[in-house]
């Protein structure tokens, strides 16, 4: 009987520990600014300038949308709806009620809005540039490690 109880305790500890770790990792991965962000629009998009404005928390890091919030896939928005309309969404929000997107007119400067627009227009290109640089850095590190 005693054995069983301590087993339960361990299980309970594990159950508490796991979600804690996951939350912690999520937190870390969202608050640590990768040094490799080269585009100012990406910086804003990911929420490093102001977590409230971070589009990624609703639309996902890659714009595919997020099942946790109600943010839709926006990868094609600029092509489909045009830059002007998307600018309006960023400034004044979209939709009504609980599922609406807030506007950020009071949180972003005009220049910052343009930077976000540019990033989400070209983000696949920008992302692949960043990835290419990351893997080039990785290869360099491997070579250095081999030399040592
Ligand atoms: C709090 C969550 C949230 C944040 C933060 C957010 N959005 Fe949204 N966004 C939404 C929701 C929800 C919709 C859908 C609104 C509707 O149609 O009712 C939406 C719609 C959009 C749309 C139109 C897509 C479509 O198909 O309707 C674009 C483009 C967009 N958001 C871009 C952005 C950008 C860029 C940012 C960052 C500056 C951002 N959003 C920040 C929640 C968010």
**pTM (two decimals):** 0.74
pLDDT at 102: 96
Annotate 8-21 with DSSP letters as a single string. Answer: HHHHHHHHHHHHHH
- From 70, 77, 88, 94, give the residue whose CB has the most ligand 1 atoms within 8 Å, as the site to mutate: 94
Residue-wise DSSP of 87-140: HHHHHH-BS-GGGPBPP-TTTS-HHHHHHHHHHHHHHHHHHHHHHHHHHHHHHH
**12 in a domain, yes or no?**
no
| pLDDT band for position 136 (cuts 50, 70, 90) | confident
pLDDT value at 49 more than 90: yes
Computed over every residue of the chain, the mean pLDDT equals 83
Is residue 13 one of the residues assigned to a domain?
Answer: no
57 CB within 6 A, ligand 1: yes
- The CATH code of the domain that includes 80 is 1.10.760.10
**In-domain check, residue 25:** no
What is the distance in A from the centroid of ligand 1 to the CA of 54?
10
Tens of pLDDT, residue by residue over 74-123, are: 999 999 999 999 999 999 999 998 889 999 999 999 999 999 999 999 88
Per-residue pLDDT of 2-12, as tens digits, reads 566 777 777 77
User: 95 CB under 6 A from ligand 1?
Assistant: yes
Ligand 1 binding pocket mutation candidate from 63, 101, 105 (most atoms within 8 A of CB): 101
User: Which residues form the domain of 49?
Assistant: 37-135
Instruction: Supply the residue whose CA is at minimum distance from atom 38 of ligand 1.
Output: 55
Residue nearest to atom 16 of ligand 1 (CA): 95
Percent of the chain with pLDDT over 70: 84
- Distance from residue 26's CA to the centre of ligand 1 (Å): 22
Overall number of domains in the chain: 1
What pLDDT is stored for residue 33 in this prediction?
60
Give the model's pLDDT for residue 32. Answer: 47
């Amino acid at each position: 009987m005693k054995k069983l109880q301590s087993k339960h305790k361990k299980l309970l500890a594990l159950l508490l520990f796991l979600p804690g770790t996951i939350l912690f990792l999520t937190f870390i991965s969202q608050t640590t600014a990768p040094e490799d962000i080269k585009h100012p629009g990406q910086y804003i998009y990911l929420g490093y300038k102001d977590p409230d404005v971070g589009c990624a928390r609703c639309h996902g890091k890659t714009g595919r949308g997020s099942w946790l919030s109600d943010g839709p896939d926006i990868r094609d928005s600029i092509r489909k709806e045009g830059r002007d309309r998307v600018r309006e969404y960023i400034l004044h929000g979209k939709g009504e009620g609980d599922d609406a997107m807030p506007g950020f007119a009071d949180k972003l400067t005009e220049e910052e809005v343009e930077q976000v627009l540019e990033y989400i227009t070209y983000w696949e290109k920008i992302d692949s540039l960043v990835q290419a640089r990351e893997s080039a850095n990785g290869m360099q590190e491997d070579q250095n490690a081999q030399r040592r």
